[in-house]
Structure 1
Amino acid sequence: MTTPHPTHLRIHQLAGLKPGPKLLVTGAVHGNETAGVAGIERVLKQFDAGELTLLCGTLTMIPIVNPLAHRLQRREGERNLNRNLRPAPIPQDFEDRIANQLCPWLAHADVLLDLHSFNNPGPAFAMMGPRDNDSDLEPFRHEKAEAALAACVGTGRIVEGWLSTYALGLQRRAARQGDGSRQASLVQDPHYGVGTTEYMRSQGGYCITLECGQHVDPQGPEVAYKAILRTLTLLGMIAPGAVELADPNRPIEVLQLYEVIDREHADDQFAREWASFDEVSEGQLIGTRHDGKPVHAPSGGRIVFPNNKAQPGQEWFYLARPSDRKLKP
């Protein structure tokens, strides 16, 4: 039986009567990542009940960005919405149609809080963008504001370096022969590393991805809910006191992604069951290719987003190491 495609996005907006920041909060960009959905719905109920008051600015919330994937209870509808995100003049799939609605909202906002979760066990963490730079890859001018946003949501770990690391992986993909399918052409597209936050930065805003924990972690919705309120407090859009603020003096581990390894064959196997941020040492065996070739860690650090269900040609795992980035001036 074919699942009927949703025909609309549900978008909620509160427009303050005083000027201020334009904040966009998104959930379920990947359909099976539901912590953000629950967190957004809880905040909406509090505004409706008068328990929260918007002091200024504009708050826009999209609890379910990919309703087809959400209806199917899986990561993707017809493809990964959070890759190759840009307006599509001639839409080829459901995610292209979503992108045509989502991208204008991203472009209009000043700040984005994008709520996600992940497959393996592990604590919540935030992902932020590059430092201020004039490069062709991801020019940026909001390093301090984005670092403050990443620090305010309360996680003990923050990761940087997504797009630069992804670009290295795309160079290797470009050297491999695809099968001529749309999926193969997408994963080899130089734009494929661009998702919600990367598109947001390209339009002049700043943002973070908050990974609220494992998909089924019962604390995930609470992490999302508190992050929304802490972001609103940081931006001066609600009065302090709605939520306990994160301890500004807590230790925060900052990691730099430096490598992404694709799964090349369905029979590529991990050497053990990995969880995000498990430590790896230089030369440690991470997995084995289908032909028996070992895959070793090139240096010490952490493994991130290990995915034993990755499709051939897509990301199998990432590697990260300590960053020298300072969150405070």
Structure 2
Amino acid sequence: MTAEKTNHFTNASTRADNNLTKKRVLVTGAAGFLGSHLCDKFINEGYHVIGMDNLITGDLKNIEHLFPLPNFEFYHHDVSKFIHIPGELDYILHFASPASPIDYLKIPIQTLKVGSLGTHNCLGLAKAKNARIIIASTSEIYGDPLVHPQTEEYWGNVNPIGPRGVYDEAKRFQEAITMAYHTFHGVETRIVRIFNTYGPKMRLNDGRALPAFIGQALRGEDLTVFGDGSQTRSFCYVDDLVDGIYRLLLSDYAFPVNIGNPDEISLLDFAKEILTLTDATVKIAYKPLPKDDPKQRQPDISKAKEILGWSPKVNRAEGLKKTYEYFKGLPKEELFKLPKEF
């Protein structure tokens, strides 16, 4: 990486294991897909990790391997309520939130609360502890975009009262209050806008395209494509995403940054890739397109490249193979497990 690309990001000097005392990091949503991978990352980097999750969508199986470690602790707690963490904190990663339509359409109030009250509580904790905080935003703040690919300067095209509004607007408010804490209180804040991500520890029944397609293929069911399948997504492997989040947290850049893989593909072509990958003999079944479903998703990652020296390394073929092997290794009952009831 050139000096120009790394002037916002310092790695070696900030590694926790270079200090006499381990730096302490709080990860909310720790038992979820991304949260659990972030716990692994910070443990591997030598931090003391405090995981927090109310387990409404998370699963302790994702982090149970960390429980014996002396530098990991877990709080079963809802961040929408007051948060107390004894001792010092260096970093907070706020990743608590339902992230799939099947979840946030069933628990809309909780989704709004974790994005508003939960974010407020995390920012208040960051202020009290003089900690740096990174907020997990999403490409959904762009809504059904009129600009393609999506840059951080685009304000979005969101229906605030549509079925997806509870998630989209929670995230948009989350960004607004985060910037308010940064400008008014001087809190060190970072905002990551996450595009479609996949990898091990995803739930097969969470309603998102990749686990849905693989789950259907493994069960011998037809793959469900909504609309004509021309809508596009850009899938980023979880290891790449976690590296981008880590770099952004340790940078000095306070404004939103897109982290995702710009390799765009239509959902119909993606379903065909899954059929080839799984060697399934099932067909593709078409269903009506859900209301406000985004027609295009592709991140412009120019800022991530320039500011963080980051770009994705894992191509889709490699990432899909790893993810498929993970799903194939799950107990058979997981394949037929119904979506979580709330």
After TM superposition, the score normalised by the length of structure 1 is 0.32
After TM superposition, the score normalised by the length of structure 2 is 0.31
More helix by share: 2
